[in-house]
Amino acid sequence: MNILEKIVQQKRHEVADRKVERTLTELKERPLYAAPRRSLAYTLALPGSTGIIAEFKRKSPSKGWIAHELASPRIAVPAYDQYGAAGISILTDAPFFGGNLSDLEESRTMVEAPLLRKDFTIDPYQLHEARAFGADVILLIAAILEPAQVRELAAEAKSLGLEVLLELHGDEELGHVCPEVDLVGINNRNLKTFSVDLDRSVQLAKALPAGKLKVAESGISSPEDLLFLKAHGFDGFLIGERFMKEADPGSAFAAFVGNIKKLSDEA
């Protein structure tokens, strides 16, 4: 079994347990469920947007622990917002990424930026969870869903006022793109083997339908990487490890944004 299959297997158990622990009715009664949503598509398209979707993640299957097990979103999220992140991605998967829904809810109290719930969505229940804990955007991963499931989950997310980021890795997944999807992400990291290749984004971007915002994901480690991807038509850049591996991820983010401005001014 590859890692992605393992994650999905575990996720099925987790979602089944959660549905018992916290019913849909209870989710809908949470105060954040009724709160208004923000749009990542909007902030990404604003003139002068950094395009960066900065991520809070403690660990990953490819790198192990990146930040401390007990690290609070406070070490990153407020600075991500303050220094111009177009959106903020919060990992909520516990077993493989060390995250949880409280991180998402806590982040919602700290910032106004659109929040992406980063998880392995396989069931509509998770969309209600995302809403109940303050997410604005949800992730759907083509590699673990049939095209019909993408369509159904995306339609339901939209009906809940959530935006949808669909993640692709290979051209065989292009058929998963449907009208309900707001943003298309291309993961430079192969989730089955962990190998990273920025050219993956560049190649696949050419085949994407016009009219969808394009997000390059994973393995972006320098301002040069970002500007390279931008020059190839990307609107968004999902970056995690580059910031989270530093003792102070917020300052690392601020410095990164400063360097992009400097490089762009020089060009």
Ligand X SMILES: O=P(O)(O)OC[C@@H](O)[C@@H](O)c1c[nH]c2ccccc12
* Helices vs strands, H then E, count in the chain: 11, 10
Q: Which letter does DSSP use for residue 69 in this model?
A: T
Note whether 105 binds ligand X by CB under 6 A.
no
Of 180 and 225, CB closest to ligand X: 225
The type of residue at 240 is: G
Note whether 173 binds ligand X by CB under 6 A.
no
The type of residue at 171 is: D
Note whether 200 binds ligand X by CB under 6 A.
no
Interacting residues of 238 by C-beta distance below 8 A, sequence separation 6+: 53, 55, 89, 185, 215, 216, 217, 218, 220
How many chain residues interact with ligand X (CB under 6 A)?
Answer: 15
Of 108 and 242, CB closest to ligand X: 242
Q: Give the one residue of 187, 214, 253, 256 binding ligand X; rule: CB under 6 A.
A: 187
Contact track, ligand X, 80-99, x by CB under 6 A: --------------------
Of 133 and 256, CB closest to ligand X: 256
- Residue number with the shortest CB distance to ligand X? 240
The H-assigned helical ranges of the chain are 3-21, 24-29, 40-45, 77-82, 101-110, 124-132, 147-159, 199-205, 223-231, 241-244, 249-266
Minimum distance of ligand X from residue 207's CB (angstroms): 19
Q: Which of 181, 168, 211, 199 is nearest to 45 (CA)?
A: 211
Note whether 217 binds ligand X by CB under 6 A.
yes
Listed ranges 21-29, 98-106, 174-182, 239-247: which one lies at the site for ligand X (CB under 6 A)? 239-247
Note whether 219 binds ligand X by CB under 6 A.
yes
The Cβ of residue 62 has, within 10 Å, a number of other Cβ atoms equal to: 17
Note whether 238 binds ligand X by CB under 6 A.
yes
Of 41 and 52, CB closest to ligand X: 52
Q: Give the one residue of 50, 83, 242, 250 binding ligand X; rule: CB under 6 A.
A: 242
Note whether 241 binds ligand X by CB under 6 A.
yes
User: Residue 88: is it exposed, middle or buried by C-beta count within 10 angstroms (0-12/13-18/19+)?
Assistant: buried
Burial code (b: 16+ CB inside 10 Å, e: under 16) for 150-186 equals bbebbebbbebebbbbbbbbeeebeebbbebbbbbbb
Contact track, ligand X, 141-170, x by CB under 6 A: x-------------------------x---
Listed ranges 72-80, 126-134, 215-223, 256-264: which one lies at the site for ligand X (CB under 6 A)? 215-223
Note whether 246 binds ligand X by CB under 6 A.
no
Rg (alpha carbons) of the chain, rounded to whole number = 17
Q: Give the one residue of 114, 236, 240, 250 binding ligand X; rule: CB under 6 A.
A: 240
Contact 166, 183 (CB under 8 A): yes
Q: Which residues bind ligand X (CB under 6 A)?
A: 55, 57, 118, 141, 167, 187, 217-220, 238-242
